[in-house]
A = this chain, B = another copy of it.
Amino acid sequence: MQTFSYDQLREFTYTMLRKIGCPEADAKIGTDVLLSADLRGVDSHGVARLSGYVRLWEKGRINATPNVRVSYETPSTAVVDGDSGLGLVVAPFAMKVAIEKAKNVGTGWVSVKNSNHYGIAGYHAMMALEHDMIGISLTNASPLVAPTFSKERLLGTNPISVAIPAKNQPPFVADMATTTAANGKLEILQRKGLDTPTGWVQDKDGQPTTSANGVKDGGALLPLGGDREHGSHKGYALGAIVDIFSAVLSGANYGPWVPPFVAFLDPLPNLVGEGIGHFFGAMRVDAFRPADEFKSHMDNWIERFRSAETTPGNEKVLIPGDPERELEVIRMKEGIPLLDPVVKDLTALGERFGVKF
């Protein structure tokens, strides 16, 4: 484990994105999105993925100079065609379209096709906050999750993020995979040689397992809930809704057809759409009630929940977004720790392109 400053990682990421041909503005926003994951503690979605994006570019599956554009629209909706661009660039473009529509008619809803992995869902949802809007961000992803009763992997970890502004309190920011646990948590347990709790994974025969290698060995992640008795059909339904909003609405690939993020796996033949899909929403809070009134009540909501009496052994009830925001402050000051394999990977990546890590 080594620690790097935010500026070091930003500089390296920006330079690498420029090396593969991204225009300045795209490299800047892409870097910002990627690094926000490292700052907020979603280590699996930050610079650790940089070489993955580069390998997809090398395979011709990511277009570094895309013509990202609105391909269809109504006053409150749009479809954005990402032209195989970096999701890190396509997603902020689409979220801006949603925000502009919300300015005009109260809300804006944008479904995106022909994109790639877009980093952390929360970044895009949070773009709405400075406009006194609620932001919503969904994406589908490579199939790693088995619906309830399915042996096959048919869904991605399909996250849901919702960001809601408050007044004096920090915003409410939920950002969660629709699985019991994200894949990044499995990787941590693998490295430590530990088992998973029940309800996280099934093996390749569709049987529950606590092996942290269960997914790597051909099994699947389980939807939030874990099994039927604990509500996995609800996690499955949520992941399905994310998939449909992101891809069936836009014309992207859905379900098992979502192209894998890893460059060594090829997309399936006979794709049903273009690239991967996202879905964004922006709602002006003053399209419902005066913004100041709304935000004061959000403060009251947050204060009431944060001050609730706790269960034994727990210090306080958290508001969604609290842990990530606290970590962001710490990491901005003290640096971002990267695991040795990540450091090695980035060093090798830099060497290949003549960039010092």
Q: How far is the CA of A170 from the CA of B32 in the complex (A)?
A: 43
The digit string for A132-143, where 1 denotes a CB below 8 A from any CB of B, is 001000000000
| A225–B107 CB distance below 8 A | no
Chain B proximity of A110: nearest CB distance (Å): 9
| A310–B150 CB distance below 8 A | yes
Q: How far is the CA of A198 from the CA of B229 in the complex (A)?
A: 9
Q: How far is the CA of A106 from the CA of B75 in the complex (A)?
A: 7
Q: What residue of chain B has the Cβ atom nearest to residue A155's Cβ? A: B305
Confirm or deny: A164 has a beta carbon within 8 angstroms of a beta carbon on chain B.
yes
Residues of B within 8 A of A256 (CB): 304
Contact (A152, B309) CB under 8 Å given A75-B75, A197-B230, A287-B74: yes
The digit string for A311-324, where 1 denotes a CB below 8 A from any CB of B, is 11011111010000
Confirm or deny: A123 has a beta carbon within 8 angstroms of a beta carbon on chain B.
no
Pick the contact of A111: B152, B198, B288, B304 (CB < 8 A). B288
Q: How far is the CA of A112 from the CA of B327 in the complex (A)?
A: 36
Q: How far is the CA of A174 from the CA of B240 in the complex (A)?
A: 10
Chain B proximity of A166: nearest CB distance (Å): 10
Confirm or deny: A207 has a beta carbon within 8 angstroms of a beta carbon on chain B.
yes
Chain B proximity of A225: nearest CB distance (Å): 6
Chain B proximity of A269: nearest CB distance (Å): 15
Q: How far is the CA of A75 from the CA of B103 in the complex (A)?
A: 11
Q: What residue of chain B has the Cβ atom nearest to residue A226's Cβ? A: B230
Pick the contact of A224: B205, B224, B245, B305 (CB < 8 A). B224
Residues of B within 8 A of A289 (CB): 72, 79, 249-251
Confirm or deny: A172 has a beta carbon within 8 angstroms of a beta carbon on chain B.
yes
Q: Could you say which of A84-92, A295-303, A346-354 contacts chain B?
A: A295-303
The digit string for A208-228, where 1 denotes a CB below 8 A from any CB of B, is 000000000000000011100
| A164–B308 CB distance below 8 A | no
Residues of B within 8 A of A197 (CB): 229-230
Pick the contact of A77: B107, B177, B315 (CB < 8 A). B107
Pick the contact of A248: B226, B234, B273, B298 (CB < 8 A). B298
Chain B proximity of A77: nearest CB distance (Å): 4
Confirm or deny: A262 has a beta carbon within 8 angstroms of a beta carbon on chain B.
no
Chain B proximity of A148: nearest CB distance (Å): 7
Chain B proximity of A253: nearest CB distance (Å): 10
Residues of B within 8 A of A226 (CB): 230
Q: How far is the CA of A248 from the CA of B234 in the complex (A)?
A: 25
Q: How far is the CA of A206 from the CA of B305 in the complex (A)?
A: 15
Contact (A272, B300) CB under 8 Å given A151-B310, A202-B311: yes
Contact (A304, B255) CB under 8 Å given A224-B225, A240-B320: yes
State the A residues within 8 Å of B (CB): 72, 74-77, 79, 104-107, 109, 111, 134, 146-152, 154, 160, 162, 164, 172, 174, 176-181, 197-199, 202, 205-207, 224-226, 229-231, 233-238, 240-241, 243-245, 248-251, 254-256, 272-273, 283-285, 287-289, 293-294, 297-298, 300-301, 304-305, 308-312, 314-318, 320
Known: A172-B244, A224-B225. 6 other contacts (CB 8 A): A107-B109, A146-B311, A162-B241, A206-B309, A230-B230, A251-B289
